[in-house]
Chains A and B, each alone.
Chain A
Amino acid sequence: MFGHTSPVSRRGFLTVGAVGGLGLTLGDWFALRHAAAAENEYVSPPVKAQSVIHIFLPGGISAQESFDPKPLAPIEYRGELRAIPTKIAGEQFSELLPRTAGIADKLTVVRSLTHSEAAHERGVQNMLTGYRPSPALEFPSLGSIVSHEFGPRKNLPAYICVPNMPSPYAGPGYLSAAYAPFSLGDDPARNGFKVRDLNLPGGVDEARFTRRREALAAVNQSFVDRTQADGVAAMNSFYQRAFDLIGSESAREAFNIDAEDGKMRDRYGRHQAGQRMLMARRLVEAGARFVTLSYGGWDHHVQVTGNMRRLMPAFDQAFAALVSDLDERGLLDDTLVLVSTEFGRTPKLNQDGGRDHWAKVFSVVAAGGGMRRGMVVGSSGATATEPEDTPVSPEDLATTVLHQLGIPAEKELMAPGARPIEIVKGGQVRREMLT
């Protein structure tokens, strides 16, 4: 019922429904719950990426202090940090990214991302949903779209947030809550980390749980048989998914970061960035389709240098470890890693040594999942003021990511009011990012 993989058209459903009785529906109601797909024409692209690890950096990270240094610009533009060479000939990263520079030949760096939403919540929406915010409609995040289009795999929820949703806009938007992310609710970097409600409560062993399930089947039977209500059917399916998850040791084990070798945990780094990225790798390895993790707070209106020195090294260690680890495991070709943020920071440092919001140009980084290795797309010019060439919009980025997953962005989903909405509107697949 949920997460069907074959497209069921709304009309098709209603026709089927009408056979059973007097198809009495008022359009929207069923449309929303049963086949949230409109009827436009689209072609599904071939699947290149099986899963996505989305590393979201809230607050808006400075590109100048990370992936797009401006060593030749005047000091008030370039800031205090030096630039270092990378594995991509002629391209430089900030000195705070030495390890990432060492694996840059596996990365696709887009230095010309651009949009016009320089307020936090609007920028977040634009980047997480591929849509500019609308007062009339809340759009689904990419993770929820993937969950809606594909459903769970290997008993793991399709869309998982580590540790929690980075923003309310990481949710299902106008889609049903069924496509909301499953949030870990706890930080993998914390000692004694545990995902809520995943394991049987104390005093309940497998045998007792089996007995409970038998009892539940006995009690549940008559009511479920008698009612055809949608909500009940949906709840049944979530119970089934919960049983699948609880019952699948490999799925549950994916959440158990303690099962990871100590050396591997050290390699990613025993900090938030490291353990969250390691958790994300465990989850996609076990079958999750879209894992969104957040790290740090990058809204550096004050002291951008100091703040970057504080936050960046952990990211550098973890990200380089993640990309190399995925590559070593042969997972990088199937797994699209995306590092994105809300927007960039102003070209010039302000009087507090910080940088303010700047949406006109900033950087995002991708790796794997059919992205072109060792590629730099676009440029932000001499001072990171605006895209000098190849501007890439959030719509383009979202469309490209979905394209790699085999989801056509032009496909329409049904929003409330029986309003068909394209998954992402007006974006292009950016071939220059792809192999």
Chain B
Amino acid sequence: MKFAGPQRKSQVVVDFLRESTNPAPRRSPELSCNQAPKVDFRRKSTTLLAPWALQLRLRLASFALWAAVYSPAPIAHAEEPAESAASPPVAAEFVELAVYPPQVRLEHGADAQRVIAVATRADGVTVDVTSQVQWSRAGEGPELLAVDAGVVTPRAVGNALLQAQLGELTAATDVQVAAVDPPGAPEFRHDVMPVFMRAGCNAGGCHGAALGKDGFQLSLFGYDPAGDYYRLTRQLSTRRINRALPDDSLLLQKAIAGVPHTGGKRFTPDDEYYAAIHDWIAAGAGDDAEQAATVESLQIYPPQAVLEGSDAAQQFIAVATYSDGEQRDVTDLAVFLSNNDASAAVGDSGLVTAANAGEAFVTARFDVHTVGSQVLSLSPEAKYEPPAEPPANFIDELVEAKLSKLRVSPSGLCTDDEFLRRVTIDLAGRLPTAEERAALHDDQSPERREHVVDALLASPDFVDVWALKWAEILLVRSEPNRVEYKPMYLYWQWIRNHVAAGTPADAMVRELISASGSSFLEPEVNFYQIEPDAKKIAENAAQAFLGIRVQCAQCHNHPFDRWTMDDYYSFAAFFSQIARKRTEDYREILVFNRGGGESTLPVTGKAMPPKFLGGEQPEINRRDRREVVAEWIASPDNPYFAANLANRAWSHMLGVGIVEPVDDVRVSNPPSNPELLDALAARLVKHEFDIRKLLRDIATSYAYQRTVETTAGNAHDQRNFAHALVRRIPAEALLDCVSQATGAPERLPGLPPGARALEVADGNGGNYFLTAFGRSKRTTVCACEASAEPTLSQALHMLNGNTVHGKITQGGLVKTWLEEGRTPAEVIAAIYDRCLGRAPSEAESQQLLALCGDNEKPVAELEDAFWAVLNSREFLFNH
């Protein structure tokens, strides 16, 4: 996600130069006909006469690099299938061949489209065979196109089938040549704006900054083409472009570092980027505002690559489809990024090279679109060992499918005791009791772990855990002069009642989003009181219920996702008609629909009609807009809602989301296992949004029951569930665990003795322990507010604070046990049993007993052992 820094970019330009000045680049016959002998002469004299010819030349020149990559490529024109002796295809090992893009459309005589051929081996490994296949045109008819080194160029109008052959395998793509006329002059939105993004001009660190850079501003990632057009052509009138002498335009001189430029050299006069801007200026620097087609979609090919060995490479191509049907090869214009360079790095040309074994996601960005492909980089030595046990349910099938693809073998299963402690902390927020342990030991049925899960999900303790989960994202907290304690407490009770009653999550969310009324009688309206700003409310709703962060798009199009400012303000429009008023009771607020009020897009000042995120523009028909959006958000058809809930449930149990962070769903942050996420979401819908049923599916899967112990092959896995993750127990549950283990209940502010920390309603409440251990303050809907990050204060508090030391004394368990006549060894065993759910090892027991010396009633010594157990990482973490 690097904003193109000057140094990095200029390096790329140099590389490109070196490549393009290669003395013997491959060129197609058309090229030489139109090649002008002297660049300078051409620029100044012939451009206006025949800009298309130059565009053609330059466009093809840019494909020369591509041709160089695919050098020993066999050329086959029309019906003359040429045999190539140079590269004997090793087709035998492949089971599948694919050609991308699946459809080619050529728009004009100078158009060209890269095509790639990808072969798949039986073990799933893919190989870029573009230079090994034989390209030929299948079927009858005149010669419509030429294929040279994986680049298709048009010859005559018509349709044809382009076929690739590799041994026995064939694959084909439709080619439509729409026209062979010369192209028109470059247009601003179509040809010039993409250059600003590709060359990094409108990045946040450069002219895309809010105040521009060095006196010149472009809209960040091109969100405002009209503004950019104005700034180029009208602001400082003739300074930036020179219609008479296009080469002297400051815009171009800066870009090629012909004059001093803080951003350095972005491209050279020989680049197609230069040509696009130059020719646009030469043709009069027109505005194509009215007629410009918009980019409807962007595709990246291939959709997935599985590379074996650290030198394997795969070329990616990007193809844009416009609203007027144009299909355009934008591989040269898109910005390619990899989220994990260590495993698969991507070059500016879209060439992905594998490195260390691992997983990466390669994205291409063009216009406002970002799309991505998964790239797996596999070690040839690694082998997948399937687990001993057959899959417990659909979850295991999908987790194992991914692990097998990655060649990472899962760890074994945890013991019954480990399982009981893990699942009790996760589902009940406490430690297992002696009775629960005994019951599990007595239960010899194969379903004994399921029995544990069922009992926990039915217990009131689960309500505490899951209500807390909701309270965090629904911002349950009091705030002076805004939300008083009473409505806050009622709001919290509303959540608890729903969780206790097992209300389907979709119904609960619908009720909340469409809520109007008194903050006493309909306490869910507090969602609209704790945050008064309509835009923020929209952001909160998107993040809490859909896992989408649209914040960026308030000021500019989201740089790493699909959300535009239009999307943002259109979605915010659903929440723009909320009104509030006070009643006689200062604590009570009425929230209602005002029936008026719009959300205006600051760039244009226009009121935006309400429109679902990534969805349609619904009929409102004078209904409360929030009712309309509530139906959409909590609909089983909403692609985000069920997936978001399922992912939050998964993350709660496994310690890491399939999308992580759970509330940051975006194209460039893909799920680690999309099939699993889809299956969980579908399952939740099938369960009619009963979260208990989904949690049961998760808790009874073997994926949840693996041990935390890793093998050499899976130790580094953090996202694919090859082993269980060690997680610090969340603040509230940890305090409850300490209280439970020591038999000393916590006195919590405003709650009766014996109340659990999980029951503290107010995000602004709690005590020092909870704050120190990262309890969510609920000031934002971000899941990150509840933190399990360790700190110095936590360690100090455990060591010296009154929680551990005080509770051991207060609970007096050691004293009681000794008075009951237990021996020190028995007391140590009891402490271990209570806190860690296991017996001490012989060595541990001996070491602790040694500290007691000869003392008959070593209360202080054994309390120190208790203290040590509570301070141990084994206690603080769930594992």
| Interface, chain B (partner A; CB < 8 A) | 1-3, 5, 7, 205, 210, 339-343, 356-360, 379, 382, 406-408, 549, 551-552, 554-555, 560, 660-661, 664, 668-669, 672, 708-710, 712-720, 725-728, 768, 774, 787-797, 799-802, 805-806, 841, 843-844, 847-848, 851, 860-861, 864-865, 867-869, 871-874, 876-877, 879
Contact = CB atoms under 8 A, between A and B. Distances in A.
Contacts of A196: 768, 793, 796-797, 801
Contact of B727 (A176, A183, A215, A231): A231
A22 B406 CA distance: 10
Contacts of B714: 21-22, 24
Given A238-B794, A242-B795, A242-B799, 7 more contacts: A18-B342, A18-B716, A27-B341, A211-B851, A220-B873, A226-B708, A417-B1
A420 to B, nearest CB: 6
B609 to A, nearest CB: 23
B713 A21 contact: yes
A269 to B, nearest CB: 29
Nearest to B841: A222
Contacts of A310: none
B96 to A, nearest CB: 26
B726 A227 contact: yes
Contacts of A204: 805
A23 B356 contact: yes
Interface string A101-144: 00000000000000000000000000000001001100000000
Given A14-B356, A26-B672, A231-B727, A21 B868 contact: no
Contact of B382 (A22, A27, A417): A22
A218 B868 contact: yes
A20 interface: yes
A178 interface: yes
A216 interface: yes
Given A40-B5, A200-B800, A212-B868, A21 B794 contact: no
Interface in A3-39: 10-11, 14-15, 17-18, 20-30, 38
Question: 5 smallest A-B Cβ distances: which pairs?
Answer: A177-B789, A215-B868, A229-B726, A27-B340, A218-B847
A79 interface: no
B342 A11 contact: yes
Interface string A219-244: 11111101111011011101101110
Contacts of A201: 800-802, 805-806
A432 interface: no
A268 to B, nearest CB: 27
Given A15-B342, A23-B356, A178-B790, A420 B2 contact: yes
Given A201-B805, A224-B873, A15 B791 contact: no
20 contacts: A14-B342, A21-B715, A26-B718, A29-B718, A157-B792, A178-B790, A196-B793, A196-B796, A204-B805, A216-B868, A218-B843, A220-B873, A223-B874, A226-B709, A227-B709, A231-B788, A232-B873, A239-B871, A418-B1, A425-B205
Contact of A21 (B716, B872, B879): B716
A190 interface: no
B865 to A, nearest CB: 5
A132 B204 CA distance: 13
A212 B343 contact: no
Contacts of B720: 24
A28 B657 CA distance: 14
B382 A212 contact: no
A29 B7 CA distance: 26
Nearest to A182: B792
A238 B715 CA distance: 23
B699 to A, nearest CB: 21
B873 A211 contact: no
Contacts of A38: 2
Nearest to B707: A226
B867 A212 contact: yes
A27 B872 contact: no
Contacts of A132: 210
B779 to A, nearest CB: 8
A135 B556 CA distance: 11
Nearest to B844: A218
A242 B879 CA distance: 24
Given A24-B408, A196-B768, A197-B800, A238 B791 contact: yes
Q: Which of B340, B359, B790, B797 has the most CB of A within 10 A?
A: B790
B791 A136 contact: no
A202 to B, nearest CB: 9
Given A25-B340, A29-B718, A223-B872, A211 B864 contact: yes
A332 B728 CA distance: 43
Contacts of B7: 40-41
Interface string A266-309: 00000000000000000000000000000000000000000000
Given A208-B864, A232-B873, A235-B876, A11 B551 contact: no
Contacts, number: 232
A214 interface: yes
Contacts of A14: 342, 356
A31 B799 CA distance: 30
A234 B791 CA distance: 8
Contacts of A24: 357-359, 406, 408, 714, 716-718, 720
Given A201-B800, A220-B874, A231 B790 contact: yes
A229 B725 contact: yes
Contacts of A22: 357-358, 379, 382, 407-408, 713-714, 716-717
Contacts of B713: 21-22
A15 B356 contact: yes
A197 B797 contact: yes
Given A15-B342, A41-B7, A219-B844, A227 B708 contact: yes
Contacts of B1: 417-420
A417 B668 contact: yes
Contact of B789 (A178, A185, A215, A232): A178
A212 B808 CA distance: 13
B792 A23 contact: no
B719 to A, nearest CB: 5
Contact of A238 (B774, B792, B851, B877): B792
Contacts of B800: 197-201, 246
A132 B209 CA distance: 12
B796 A197 contact: yes
Contacts of A41: 7
B153 to A, nearest CB: 38
A239 B793 CA distance: 10
A374 to B, nearest CB: 34
Given A25-B358, A199-B800, A231 B728 contact: yes
A30 B660 CA distance: 13
A180 B788 CA distance: 13
Nearest to B780: A138
Name which of B549, B787, B793, B797 has the most chain A CB atoms within 10 A of its CB: B793
A312 interface: no
A245 interface: yes
Given A14-B356, A211-B864, A218-B868, A135 B555 contact: yes
Contacts of B342: 10-11, 14-15, 18, 23, 25, 27
A17 B408 CA distance: 16
Contacts of A218: 843-844, 847-848, 868
B874 A219 contact: yes
B725 A17 contact: no
B357 A219 contact: no
A212 B787 CA distance: 28
A198 B797 CA distance: 8
Given A27-B339, A417-B560, A198 B716 contact: no
Contacts of B551: 135-136
A181 B801 CA distance: 19
B669 A417 contact: yes
Contacts of A227: 708-709, 726, 873, 879
B61 to A, nearest CB: 32
